[in-house]
Structures are given as C-alpha cells and as structure tokens.
Amino acid sequence: MSSRRYRRRRPAPKPASGNLIGWALLTFAAVFLVVVMWGDRLPLPEKVTDGARQAATSVAPEVFPPTLQQAASEADFRCKVQRVNDGDTLRCQDDTRVRLHALAAREADNSCSPGHPCSTTSSAEATRALRQLVERKTLDCMTTGQSYDRVTAICWTPEQIEVNCYMVENNKAELWERFDREVRICRHKRRLGSALR
C-alpha cells in the first residue's frame, strides 16, 4: 500500500493594503518634517512652508515653537511708548499701563517686592536697557492678563524683537516662572531640551 503525503495548504497571502497605508503615512510624516524644519532652504512656495509650520506648531508647540512672526501675529493691541517706568513696566500714549508678562525687575527704588523673583541687575540698569529698546517706538502687544491697573502683555518692537525675551536673555530681568508656565515668553526660541522651558 502506498502512502500519500498530504501537505497543508498555506492560506493565500492577504493583500498588503495595511502596509501600504502605513508606508504612505510614514512617507507623508517624513516629507512634512522636512518642509517644517528645512522649508526655508528649499525652493518651495512660502504658503506651503508657512502652512506646514503653523500646523506643526498647533499640534506640538514644544517641539515646533512658533516663528517670531507667528508669535507676533497674536498681538491684539498697539502701544506707542510714552514712558518707561522701570525694567518691567511702561506707559503707552493712550495712558495704558503695560506690565511685561513673566518678568520681574527691581522696583524704581532698587528694592525687590516680597514674593517676586529678585533680579541681580539694578533698577537703573534694567530701566535703561528697556528704554533703549522701546523708547519712542510703537509696540505690538499680546494681552496675557491684568495686574492691578495694568495690562500684562508680551510685546514686540517694529524690528520684531520680543521685548520680554530680550530682557530675560540679556539678564536685565528675571524670568517669573509661575507666570511663564501660564503663557510662555521666548516661544520662537523654545524647543525640547532648551534652556528656557
């Protein structure tokens, strides 16, 4: 009697549509990252690179912070600077008093208010630095809240310098982390692992 060997039939291979979708998504993500990170070096239309950056910023702002132009575009009022009071407060020509958000500078008498971070920079030096940066300029400012009778804000000069960030980076004022956690300053410079968090 002869014995027959029976082989099990292997199931027919399933269509690889799941793999194709995965590869397509991975390819799209890679192209998207290239456009976001190096779009300004590629010959792409500005609308494409700006759109990709805005999308990335809205999805992952800690990884892809807004550009300086994106951040400044959030301004909701203008302040023609009339006077600089000290290193973190100024007055606009329409009498609006602006307290620069997330900053702590010494008071005009060189003291530090109780419970505030205390800057090592003197009041006179901080005031002079702020005056040189903003005097006789019209600032674009984004409201972040109220502090007594003052508007707290992040402001940008006509040259697109973020005033709040400038004062901290140049050691003219201390970063007030409690308020910075609520609304970040220096957002255009922040990335994962950066010094400012």
Residue pLDDT, tens place only, 162-186: 999 999 999 999 999 999 999 999 8
- Average pLDDT on 99-126 reads 92
For CA atoms 37, 39, 40, 42, the dihedral sign is: positive
pLDDT attached to residue 148: 86
Long-range contacts of 135-139 (CB under 8 A, 24+ apart): 135/81, 135/84, 136/81, 137/80, 137/81, 138/78, 138/79, 138/80, 138/81, 139/78, 139/79, 139/80, 139/81, 139/163
Closest alpha carbon to 85 in 150, 168, 169: 150
DSSP β-ladder status, 89-92 and 77-86: antiparallel
pLDDT higher than 50, residue 197 = no
pLDDT attached to residue 58: 54
Contact in structure between 63 and 194 (CB atoms under 8 Å): no
Q: Mean pLDDT check: name the lowest of 61-65, 129-133, 187-191.
A: 61-65
- Average pLDDT on 139-158 reads 93
pLDDT attached to residue 187: 84
> Is pLDDT larger for residue 74 or for residue 68?
74
Confidence bin at 195 (pLDDT 50/70/90) = very low
> Is pLDDT larger for residue 164 or for residue 27?
164
C-alpha span between 2 and 140 (Å, rounded): 94
> Is pLDDT larger for residue 168 or for residue 192?
168
Which amino acid is residue 51, in one-letter code? G
C-alpha span between 13 and 143 (Å, rounded): 60
The whole-chain average pLDDT of the chain stands at 80
pTM of the model as a whole: 0.64
pLDDT attached to residue 193: 42
